[in-house]
Structure 1
Amino acid sequence: MKRRNFLLAPMVLAATPTWANPAQLGNDLHPNTIVHVVNFWLKDDVSEKDKKNFVGFFEELRKIDVIKTLSYGVPAPTNARDVVDNSFDYTLIVTFKDLKDITIYETHPIHLKAIEKYKHFWTKVMVKDTTIIK
């Protein structure tokens, strides 16, 4: 009986983190991607129920087709430091393929309509846009 030799290559298993959003897998931040970060400060008299309803704003924006990814959240309970500002109520993080797409988003009817519908909730909005270079 002739013996056969097999070359065994090591297997590399890539595990998907349990927190990963399957719809966003493979959407790395490539050069020219625009990261749109928006912090919202809501009015003091907004109830907890209204705060939960406010996230409808983000869900309406999700319908805009030029958006690559959209996530939102609340301030993390990180350690207090001079450089940390946790005074906002919500943060929206949206990515776009390029400047052309964020320009479409800025004047998109869904975006403008959602602002009109939800702007009575906030006292302050701060936008920080970044172009990924590497």
Structure 2
Amino acid sequence: MKNLSRRNFVKNVSLATAATATFSTADAKNIKDIFVHHVYFWLKNPNSEADKSKLLEGLEKLSKVPTIRMVHIGSPASTNRSVIERGYAVSWLCFFDNLEEEEIYQKHPIHLKFVEDYSYLWEKVIVYDAIGPKR
């Protein structure tokens, strides 16, 4: 368990470092071009830790798609305000350099295999795609 905790710590530090590097001031002019893809999964068996673990396994595999610039896999936070949706089981947030890179991801064999192998786990999926505002 100690190694797992250390591994998670190193992974989180790496993600924070990557986020800082990805969105540094030097790149600020390019942030408006970033394509954000945020997916929320509701499981068919919401109380099944095995199903949630299986979905997380699939998302880890999915994170290997080469056009993904940065990824975050999450669960609902303990925050509690009227505007917060906490009914989902897992969220999948990834950033792409542009729409074209996200379209490559959608057709990539790893993504297609993820849907084929893991879609039996969820009853509902909501996707929010966003780009920077036109100025």
TM-score range, shorter chain: 0.7 to 0.9
In structure 1, runs of 5+ residues without a counterpart are: 1-16
Give the equivalent residue in structure 2 for 1:49.
50
The 2-side partners of 1:18 and 1:109 are apart by 29
Per-residue displacement from partner, 1:90-125 (whole Å, max 9, x unpaired)? 110000000110010111111000111000100000
Identical residues among aligned pairs (%): 33
Q: What is the deviation of 1:20?
A: 5.0
TM-score (norm 1): 0.78
Aligned residues: 117
Query: Does the CA contact (< 8 Å) of 2:33 and 2:98 recur in 1?
Result: yes
State the Cα RMSD in Å. 2.2
Aligned to 1:114: 114
Q: CA deviation at 1:58?
A: 1.1
Query: Could you tell me which of 2, 5, 21 is aligned with 1:26?
Result: 21
Deviation at 1:63, TM superposition (A): 1.1
- Give TM-score, length-normalised by structure 2: 0.77
- Runs (4 or more) in structure 1 with deviation over 6 Å come to none
- Give the distance between the partners of 1:65 and 1:45, measured in 2 at CA: 30
SS of the aligned residue for 1:85 comes to: coil
More helix by share: 2
Whether the aligned pair in 2 keeps the contact of 1:46 and 1:121 (CA below 8 Å) is no
DSSP 3-state at the match of 2:91: strand
